[in-house]
Amino acid sequence: MIFSELKEGSISLRYGENPHEKAWVYGEPAFQLLHEGRRISYNNLLDADAAWAVAQHLKDIAPFGAVALKHQTPCGVAVADTPEEAVRKAIDADAESAYGGILAVNFPFTLSVAKSYKKYLEVIVAPEFTEEALAYLRKKKVRLIVPSRYDAFVGKPAFGALVVSERILPPLEFQLQVGKPISDDVVMDMKLAYVAVEGAKSNAIVIVKNSVTVGIGTGQPSRKRSAWIATTLAGDKAHGAVAASDAFFPFPDGLEILAEAGVSVVVAPLGSKRDNEVLKRAEELGITFYSASSRVFRH
C-alpha cells in the first residue's frame, strides 16, 4: 500500500470514516488546533478542509464570508458587510442541516461572533480567534482550527494508488452570452453562487439570492436532478435569483427547471455540443446567461 511510504504525523485518529475502520494522518496538517473539545475525527478533518477552501474563495466577493458545511458539502454559504451577519446567514440558510456541522469563516473570530449564533457546531475554522472568543469557546465541545497558508489539493486512493489533483478556483470573471447585463449586487450573487457550486459535490447546481445560498442541489448523477433539488429547496426564494452550474448544461432541460422556478440569471461553463441550443433556450426563457471560464467539479 502506497501510503505506508509516507511518514505519519502527530495526529492519531480513534477510527476512520466509520467506527469499525482504522485511519491514519500522513504528514502534519498545516494548522493549529487551538481547542479540541472533543477529539478530532477523520470526518472533522476532511469537513474542515472542505469548508475552509470555500471560505477562502469568498475573499474577493465581499468584506466577510462564512460557510456552514456537513458531509464535505456546503449547506449554507454567505457574504455580508459584518462578520455576525455572514455567520447568521450561512447557518440560517439551512438551519436544520447546520446542526452539528462545520463553520468556516474568512475573518477573525471575535467574542461577538461567537455569541451571535446558538447552533451546536462540531468544528470552527477561522484565520484567527481573539483571546476573548477563545476563552468563551474553550468551554464548549467544539474543535477550533486556525489554518496556516496551504495550497489546496483534492484526490483519493484508487486501486491501491493515490490520485491527486490541484484545486484551483478559476477567476470570478464571467462573459455575458444572452440577456440583459445585471447590477453589481447580482454580480456579487453570481460570484457567490459560482464559489459555492465549486465547493459542492458534482453534479451541483446552487441558487443564491441576496448574498446567501437558498438552494443547493448536490451529489447527484444527473444535472437535471440537481436543478430539481436546488429549486425545490429554494421555493419562492428562487424568484429573481441567480443559479450556478458546476459544468455545462448538456441539454436545455436543467435550464428549463431553473427558469420554471423563477431563476433569472444563470452562470455555467460552456463546452456542450448543444451550447447553441442551450443559449437559444435561455434567451427564449428570458434568462440572462453568463459563461464561466471552466468547469468546477468536486467529488
17-36: contacts with its own copies (CB under 8 A):
17-31
In the complex, minimum distance from the CB of residue 170 to its own copies, in angstroms, rounded to a whole number: 6
Nearest to 32 by CA among 146, 135, 128: 146
* 146 neighbors 127 (Cβ within 8 angstroms): yes
Torsion of CA 242, 244, 245, 250, to 10 degrees: 40
178 or 234, CB closer to its own copies? Answer: 234
Binding region for its own copies (CB under 8 A) out of 8-16, 172-180, 234-242, 260-268: 8-16
State which of residues 75, 144, 206, 230 lies at the interface with its own copies (CB under 8 A).
75
188 or 249, CB closer to its own copies? Answer: 249
Torsion of CA 200, 113, 145, 102, to 10 degrees: -30
Binding region for its own copies (CB under 8 A) out of 12-20, 237-245, 256-264, 281-289: 12-20
C-alpha 207, offset from chain centre: 12
* 35 neighbors 139 (Cβ within 8 angstroms): no
State which of residues 14, 115, 141, 162 lies at the interface with its own copies (CB under 8 A).
162
In the complex, minimum distance from the CB of residue 53 to its own copies, in angstroms, rounded to a whole number: 10
Integer angstrom CA distances of residue 171 from 61, 168, 190: 12, 9, 13
Query: Restricting to residues 203-222, which ones interact with its own copies according to CB under 8 A?
Result: 203, 216, 218-222
Query: Restricting to residues 93-152, which ones interact with its own copies according to CB under 8 A?
Result: 94, 96-98, 101, 147-148, 150-151
Binding region for its own copies (CB under 8 A) out of 80-88, 128-136, 161-169, 276-284: 161-169
Which helix (H) or strand (E) covers residue 292, if one does?
Answer: strand 288-292
In single-letter form, the type of residue at position 51 comes to: A
